Amino acid sequence: MKVPRILLAAGASGSGKTLITCGILQALINRGLKPCSFKCGPDYIDPMFHSKVIGAKSRNLDTFFADGDILRYILADNSRDCDIAVIEGVMGYYDGLGGISQRASAYDVARTTDTPVVLIVNAKGMSGSAAAFVKGFRDYKEDSNIQGVILNQVSPMLYKTLKGHIEEVCGVKVIGYLPRVTDCLLESRHLGLVMPDEIQNIREKLQALAEIVEETVNLEALIELAESAGDIDAAEPRGGAFDFHTAEPVRIALARDEAFCFMYEDNLRLLQKMGAEIVEFSPVRDAELPEGVSGLILYGGYPELYADEIEKNVSMRSSIREAIEGGLPTLAECGGFMYLHESMEDNEGNAHDGVGVIEGKAFRTPKLNRFGYVTLGENDGAFFSEDVVGEVGLMPVPAHEFHYFDSTSNGDTMTARKPVGGRSWKCMHQTETMLAGFPHLYYYGNSQVAAAFLRKCENYEK
């Protein structure tokens, strides 16, 4: 499959990747093109900014979560009927597992998908050193695939000087720059950027950013570089749980609002391929669960910012508690897991009543807890004990944690293991009908999760 594509990478976090990616996406749309977008790594928030621009869901590409064949399939399948795929990198270009490994880095994604790379260089405070920076990144790996450069936070006058110098010294094309912008900055909070819908006049700011990009970045050169990418061989995953499908569609209630918004779109897509009918609801505003559902999903988000509204919605908390206690199959992650506790603190440390299914308290801590990639293995396979695909039990599941909160009751039915260093800990509440804990799961990394959940939903419906 022919997929014109480009990956925008940087030397470090905070270099302006998301800002420039959004500006380029909007500028491409303004030209009448239809872009699709992706984010390297497990991030939830940056793709929301992409989605705000393109009006369609952005996807994640993560080489820890999925092998090369699945990654290429996700890229190609979500690029159908699009003119160009724009992929935003993660952290520094070569930053992967354990600090020095390149696995799960933006470089690993570029290498796995054979995607041309444009290196974004935050050149504030630099002049000639920018050339050394570019040369070091390009030559660090023979297959770096860095074929273009965009300079960030430079003046038009300095750009003219640096462009010729970098191209002469490094032999790589400098295709544009971004001056220092003050009215389009994306603010951050404890889990990353603030949400797009919280930014006043976000549409106007994105248009203003696109106008700057149109003037300062050679979009023709960017498009030409994207079109130079080779074809992708991307077959849909088959075999095992990937072939599972419910006998009839099953309705799954999905919490989705300003408090619960961290979810992998391809997780939902895989569930739908297997027979799920997703019915969205709001734990903040709705009075009770949707009628006629046979399963419940509570993903993460910022429940701590909406703890007062969540607590006051007594009817919804009661509806969820009664449904789970009545056997409704449930998946809950991170913020959704916190919501199920008897008590949950807000961002200031004030306690609020939760659903009450998990005995214990979710509480704020001053730093990230157990953050990063993990692999989950079963200790007590209650939720996955049913034979779904010819194998009893659950194979290891790739997952990810990123939270400032902790719990007095993290669960102990699974073991989370770090991929580097050997650290491990107990986690997850796992019953016959509920799987809940801080880790975020990625279903394409282990399709048994999706298949087992939907089998539980089928049985509940019967």
Q: Reduced to 3 states, what is the DSSP secondary structure of residue 227?
A: helix
Contact by Cβ (8 Å): 28, 219? yes
**Crossing angle of the two packed helices 68-77 and 106-113, in degrees rounded to 10:** 80
Distances (CA, A) of 116 to 7, 105, 112, 176, 225: 6, 15, 11, 16, 7
Find the helix or strand (DSSP H, E) in which 276 lies.
strand 276-281
The active-site residue out of 170, 334, 427, 457 is 334
Instruction: Please give the Cα distance from 195 to 198 (Å, whole number).
Output: 5
CA angle 229, 235, 237 (to 5 degrees): 130
* Long-range CB contact pairs, 139-142, < 8 A, 24+: 140/94, 141/94, 141/102, 141/107
Instruction: Please give the Cα distance from 259 to 178 (Å, whole number).
Output: 33
Which neighbouring-strand residues pair with 293? none
**Crossing angle of the two packed helices 156-170 and 129-140, in degrees rounded to 10:** 40
Contact by Cβ (8 Å): 257, 197? no
Encoding tokens for residue 171? 């032999």
Centroid of chain to Cα 64: 13
Burial class, 347, CB count within 10 angstroms (exposed 0-12 / middle 13-18 / buried 19+):
middle
One-letter amino acid for residue 427 of the chain:
C
Encoding tokens for residue 154? 């430079």
Does 36 participate in catalysis according to the annotation?
no
CA nearest neighbour of 235 among 93, 33, 69, 410: 69
Contact by Cβ (8 Å): 264, 286? no
What CA dihedral angle connects 259, 260, 265 and 266, to 10 degrees?
Answer: 160
Q: Reduced to 3 states, what is the DSSP secondary structure of residue 238?
A: coil
Instruction: Please give the Cα distance from 36 to 55 (Å, whole number).
Output: 9
Task: Count the residues in the chain.
Answer: 462
Residue 217 per-residue DSSP state: B
CA nearest neighbour of 303 among 408, 411, 191: 191
Which residues are catalytic, by number? 334
